[in-house]
């Protein structure tokens, strides 16, 4: 695909996202659905930084998503009621945890890496589940809410105005996605592609592969914890399910569904996943079986994901 096509694609995505609060209600959706798609899309794109661009599969990203969410909720509820500060704190907690765990798993490959990420993820799940006094246990952390943003000259009421919250999320999303795209286009980003393409060759070019996998992991977890922080703000609530391994699986499903070799693929995957969830779950509790069926069909027939098909149609 040539440059012009990529640019047109990017412009189309941003236009759709910028106007979503106005056209979503017309299609039977609602503004919060848009915020949700952005947030889980960001989480899945962050996972894809590692999965699609470094070639490393994590099945434990919910841990850092959840840590971001808990960090945000804890700051809001116990310490200081400021949205930006709470988000920063959430990201810090998730990223630091990932940075510490990283060296323990960066030497592992394939299914061993995936298994260890699940194991570490479950550790955090059980901590959140058991530590009732602090985390609220199974009931989660409630009785707090996001705070309006004060800019000195103006106030953005993200608490009561759904559209304002959507645009706040979109701004954070744009920043995060921009940084990831920037990194992927840099020499550092290309060393990650090298590792994905052929680890042995990467090593014999002189790339310290484990260290670069660790860095990619930390970057990926940093953005997934940012998504987690936003998720806590969206719900004004967090519970241990945000940390659980099935949430990690959902991120992987979104990425694969949309196409893990394309930058926007995971966002599309998240959109499909969430719209299906929203629509089907109002008819049946077994909405996951439908998502599962679609997932299996995509993996079997379109291994490059839905955006992969679109791309091939465009290039041929």
Partner 1 sequence: MSLLRVENVTKAFGSLVAVDNVSMTVEAGELRAVIGPNGAGKTTFFNTISGFLTQTSGKILFDGEDISGLLPARRVWRGIARTFQITEVFPELTVRENLRIAVEVASGYRMRVWQPADAEEEVKARVVELLEMGGLTEKADRLVGEMSHGDQRANEIMMALALKPRLLLLDEPTAGMGDQETYDITQLIRKLHRDQKLTIVLIEHDMRVVFHLADRIMVLAEGKMLAEGTPKEIASNEAVQAAYLGKAAA
Binding site for partner 1 (CB under 8 A): 182-183, 186-191, 193-194, 197-198, 200-201, 203-209, 212
Within 10 Å of residue 37's Cβ, how many Cβ atoms?
Answer: 26
Of 81 and 197, nearer to partner 1 (C-beta) is 197
Shortest Å, Cβ 208 to partner 1: 5
DSSP secondary structure letters along 39-85: HHHHHHHHHHHHHTTS----S-HHHHHHHHHHHHHHIIIII---HHH
Shortest Å, Cβ 200 to partner 1: 5
Of 207 and 309, nearer to partner 1 (C-beta) is 207
Shortest Å, Cβ 53 to partner 1: 12
Q: How many CA within 13 A on the CB side of residue 108?
A: 16
Token code pair at residue 235: 């719900």
Token code pair at residue 211: 């260290």
CA nearest 45: which of 269, 297, 278, 299?
269
Of 151 and 204, nearer to partner 1 (C-beta) is 204
Instruction: For 116-160, give the secondary structure using H, E and C.
Output: HHHHHHHHHHHHHHHCHHHHCHHHCECCCCCCCEECCCCEECCCC
Of 152 and 187, nearer to partner 1 (C-beta) is 187
Shortest Å, Cβ 260 to partner 1: 13
Shortest Å, Cβ 286 to partner 1: 38
DSSP-assigned letter for residue 147: -
DSSP-assigned letter for residue 238: B
Residue with tokens 């921009």: 178
Shortest Å, Cβ 204 to partner 1: 6
User: How do 149-150 and 155-156 pair as beta strands?
Assistant: antiparallel
Beta strand segments in the chain, E: 149-150, 155-156
Of 96 and 193, nearer to partner 1 (C-beta) is 193
Shortest Å, Cβ 284 to partner 1: 40
Shortest Å, Cβ 216 to partner 1: 12
Token code pair at residue 93: 């907690």
Of 153 and 204, nearer to partner 1 (C-beta) is 204
Instruction: Give the containing element (helix H, strand E) for 107.
Output: none
CA nearest 43: which of 280, 215, 257, 223?
223
Q: How many CA within 13 A on the CB side of residue 208?
A: 4
β-pair partners for 155: 150
Of 84 and 208, nearer to partner 1 (C-beta) is 208
Shortest Å, Cβ 202 to partner 1: 8
Of 216 and 250, nearer to partner 1 (C-beta) is 216
Of 38 and 213, nearer to partner 1 (C-beta) is 213
Token code pair at residue 32: 């919060």
């Amino acid at each position: 695909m040539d440059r012009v096509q990529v640019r047109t694609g990017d412009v189309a995505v941003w236009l759709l996202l910028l106007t979503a609060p106005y056209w979503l209600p017309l299609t039977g959706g609602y503004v919060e659905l848009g915020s949700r798609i952005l947030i889980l899309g960001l989480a899945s794109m962050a996972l894809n930084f590692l999965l699609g661009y470094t070639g490393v599969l994590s099945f434990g990203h919910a841990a850092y998503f959840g840590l971001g969410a808990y960090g945000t909720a804890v700051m809001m509820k116990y310490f200081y009621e400021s949205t930006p500060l709470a988000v920063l704190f959430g990201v810090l907690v998730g990223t630091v945890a990932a940075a510490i765990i990283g060296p323990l798993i960066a030497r592992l490959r394939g299914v061993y890496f995936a298994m260890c990420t699940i194991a570490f993820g479950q550790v955090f799940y059980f901590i959140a589940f058991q530590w009732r006094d602090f985390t609220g246990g199974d009931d989660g952390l409630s009785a707090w809410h996001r705070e309006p943003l004060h800019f000195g000259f103006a106030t953005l009421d993200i608490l009561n105005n759904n559209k304002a919250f959507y645009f706040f999320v979109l701004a954070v999303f744009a920043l995060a996605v921009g940084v990831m795209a920037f990194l992927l286009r840099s020499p550092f980003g290309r060393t990650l592609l090298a590792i994905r393409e052929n680890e042995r060759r990467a090593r014999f070019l002189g790339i310290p592969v484990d260290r670069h996998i660790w860095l990619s992991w930390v970057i990926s977890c940093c953005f997934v914890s940012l998504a987690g922080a936003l998720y806590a703000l969206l719900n004004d609530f967090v519970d241990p399910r945000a940390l659980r391994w099935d949430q990690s699986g959902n991120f992987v499903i979104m990425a694969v569904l949309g196409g893990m070799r394309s930058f926007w693929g995971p966002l599309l995957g998240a959109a499909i996943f969430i719209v299906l969830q929203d629509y089907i779950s109002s008819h049946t509790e077994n909405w996951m079986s439908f998502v599962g069926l679609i997932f299996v069909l995509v993996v079997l027939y379109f291994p490059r994901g839905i955006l992969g098909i679109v791309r091939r149609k465009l290039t041929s």
